[in-house]
Amino acid sequence: MSRRHFAVVKLANKGKTNKKTLPACRLPGGRIIKFAFTGLNRFDLWRGLLKIPMSNGKKRLKFMIEKARPYQQLAILYDTVMEHVNYKQWARYVLALIDKYGAGKQTVCDLACGTGSLLPYLAGRKRRVVGCDLSLSMLRRAKEKFSGQNVPLICADFRAVPLTESVCDAAVILYDSINYLHSGEEILNLFGEAARILKPGGVLVFDAVLPYVCREVFDGYEDVRFLSSDLGYRRQSWFDRQEGVQYNRFQIYANGQVFEELHRQRIWTLSEWREIIEKNRSLNLQAIHGDFTFRNVRPKSERAHFVLRKPGNSA
Ligand SMILES: C[S@@+](CC[C@H](N)C(=O)[O-])C[C@H]1O[C@@H](n2cnc3c(N)ncnc32)[C@H](O)[C@@H]1O
């Protein structure tokens, strides 16, 4: 390996170093080298060193990594990343929570619907669903899935939803979507907005992972997947215990380009959650269930589901 090749590889990598997950590469002759920079994996490295042409026929010696907003590029691979999730069962569980604590479920709004995987399972013969999400790229994928079906999709922040007052029997925010809010104040704003769109007696159901799972499972987690030589992703995850923040860095390889998205999610302890919920004046806490059961959550639960209810009974 010549000095020039190193220079080429280094040029494109001005990011921070995450020593835990340094990419390694075995050179001819068996020597293993580790690279003290992020942004490259073995795949990139060999492509660069061997000067393998990209799909557009150009030789790519520099690896330009473009920064993207969360889900802007990941949207194309999101359903692949989530292949392991059983949305049908999840919807069944959430509808059971709404039945148990709510006053009805004729209109359900998924306030962070993403690519809409949950929507068909939430919908029913007599149940209308509405999908809302902040990311237009995610909603575009959802729209492709529901073309020809009457599923309203809204691009909005879940703290300012363009729906009139008291229209929903239930609102849901699932798969750690609420963790994109980083302060108690932002969560209180969200509760206020949910209370506005819910009918009296309506419920808000949201889920969250707890610090135990982030420490045990997602700190140091790494995942690489390619659907073809030019479409794939690499995820590196770590949990900052002091900040209480789960980081997921995705490198997305698509159409001969490499994009990077850094996702930051605030992970609250159960007592922090209780403290925030107690401060809110618009919704009453009904339950915090753990592990997709109706049992009370524990600090080591894999996932917590929170149910909050708007006071009153719908007419
Ligand atoms: C992990 S994905 C979950 C998507 C979907 N609930 C699922 O289970 O597949 C998180 C979603 O939350 C959305 N999101 C994050 N912050 C949001 C906000 N302030 N308002 C609305 N959606 C938001 C993101 O755009 C993303 O689609």
Tens of pLDDT, residue by residue over 284-303, are 999 999 999 999 999 999 99
Among 129, 180, 267, name the best residue to mutate to test ligand 1's pocket (greatest count of ligand atoms within 8 A of Cβ). 180
Whether 46 has a pLDDT exceeding 80, the answer reads: no
Mean per-residue pLDDT, 135-147: 94
Mean per-residue pLDDT, 96-103: 96
Q: Name the band, by pLDDT with cuts 50, 70 and 90, for residue 314.
A: low
Q: What is the pLDDT of residue 43?
A: 56
DSSP 18: -
Is there an atom of ligand 1 within 6 Å of 114 CB?
yes
Cβ atoms 60, 124 nearer than 8 A: no
Dump strand ranges (E) for 86-138.
107-110, 128-133
228 Cβ contact list (under 8 Å, min separation 6): none
Spatial strand order of the sheet with 128-133 comes to: 153-155, 128-133, 107-110, 168-173, 198-208, 304-309, 284-290
Q: What is the pLDDT of residue 55?
A: 53
- Considering only CA atoms, which residue is closest to atom 18 of ligand 1? 157
Q: Name the band, by pLDDT with cuts 50, 70 and 90, for residue 2.
A: very low
| Distance from the Cα of residue 153 to its chain's centroid | 18
Is there an atom of ligand 1 within 6 Å of 176 CB?
yes
221-241 confidence digits (pLDDT tens) = 999 999 998 899 999 999 999
The pair of structure tokens assigned to 277 is: 């919920």
Phi, psi of 7 (to 5 degrees): -60, -40
Is there an atom of ligand 1 within 6 Å of 158 CB?
yes
Is there an atom of ligand 1 within 6 Å of 82 CB?
yes
Sign of the torsion formed by the C-alpha atoms of 290, 292, 295 and 301:
negative
Q: Name the band, by pLDDT with cuts 50, 70 and 90, for residue 283.
A: very high
Tell me the CA–centroid distance for residue 45 and ligand 1, in Å.
33
Q: What is the pLDDT of residue 50?
A: 44
Q: What is the pLDDT of residue 56?
A: 52
- CA–CA distance, 76 with 254 (Å, rounded to integer): 9
Atom of ligand 1 nearest to the CA of 114: 27
Please report, for residues 83, 94, 170, 202, 206, the alpha-carbon distance to residue 196 in angstroms, rounded to integers and kept in the order given. Answer: 34, 21, 12, 10, 16
Tell me the CA–centroid distance for residue 245 and ligand 1, in Å.
17
Is there an atom of ligand 1 within 6 Å of 207 CB?
no
- Considering only CA atoms, which residue is closest to atom 9 of ligand 1? 114
Cβ atoms 288, 306 nearer than 8 A: yes
Mean per-residue pLDDT, 3-23: 37
129 Cβ contact list (under 8 Å, min separation 6): 107, 108, 109, 110, 119, 122, 123, 151
Q: Name the band, by pLDDT with cuts 50, 70 and 90, for residue 146.
A: confident
Whether 45 has a pLDDT exceeding 80, the answer reads: no
Please state which architecture CATH assigns to domain 64-315.
3-Layer(aba) Sandwich (3.40)
